[in-house]
């Protein structure tokens, strides 16, 4: 089975990735500066995630979802600016994928580390383990867990569009 993408689909995918990358940079900046301890140390990132989570009445785990919001918004804005052909039902499919991606990111953080769960130690070790998969550390883990929901949203959109057509 051969899968073909139109030129417009490639443009939308590339712009979505670029918007998501910009959102990831913004999320890392927010995580490293908004907490009581600034920087990309473990203390800085846990403090930053807790500060972000407090915006929605949660803690560090909620902060992962809040940090994913600029990534998703950047990707969605870039896709919307690139294409007029994305229908409402396709947007809903991408939104459902994004929600699933955020839940998956939090669950992966909870399960991936040497310390399981969503305590400070669990989140810290989970993010470090996720980042370690690509040779990075906790900051890389934050970037991956923020960007993953955009990838899941794109996959849900593509699957829905493929099934619909």
The model's pLDDT over 78-94, given as tens digits with 9 standing for 90+, comes to: 998 998 888 999 999 99
The answer to whether position 149 is within a domain reads: yes
Q: Label residue 95 by pLDDT band (50, 70, 90).
A: very high
The answer to whether position 67 is within a domain reads: yes
Judged against a pLDDT cut of 80, whether residue 1 lies above it is answered with no
d(CA 68, CA 20): 9
Domain range spanning residue 96?
Answer: 7-164
The answer to whether position 26 is within a domain reads: yes
The answer to whether position 107 is within a domain reads: yes
d(CA 140, CA 131): 5
Domains in the chain: how many in total?
A: 1
Backbone CA torsion sign across 59, 75, 41, 103: positive
| Two tokens, residue 100 | 């699933």
Q: What is the pTM of this model?
A: 0.89
């Amino acid at each position: 089975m051969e899968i073909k993408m139109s030129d417009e689909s490639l443009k939308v995918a590339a712009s979505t990735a670029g918007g998501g990358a910009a959102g990831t940079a913004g999320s890392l900046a927010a995580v490293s500066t908004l907490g009581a301890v600034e920087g990309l140390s473990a203390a800085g990132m846990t403090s930053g995630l807790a500060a972000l989570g407090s915006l929605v009445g949660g803690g560090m785990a909620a902060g992962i979802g809040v940090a994913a919001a600029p990534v998703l918004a950047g990707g969605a804005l870039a896709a919307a600016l690139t294409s007029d052909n994305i229908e409402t039902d396709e947007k809903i499919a991408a939104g459902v994928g994004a929600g699933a991606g955020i839940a998956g990111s939090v669950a992966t953080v909870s399960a991936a580390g040497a310390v399981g769960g969503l305590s400070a130690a669990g989140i810290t070790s989970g993010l470090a383990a996720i980042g370690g998969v690509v040779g990075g550390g906790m900051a890389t883990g934050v970037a991956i867990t923020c960007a993953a929901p955009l990838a899941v949203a794109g996959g849900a959109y593509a699957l829905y569009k493929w099934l619909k057509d």
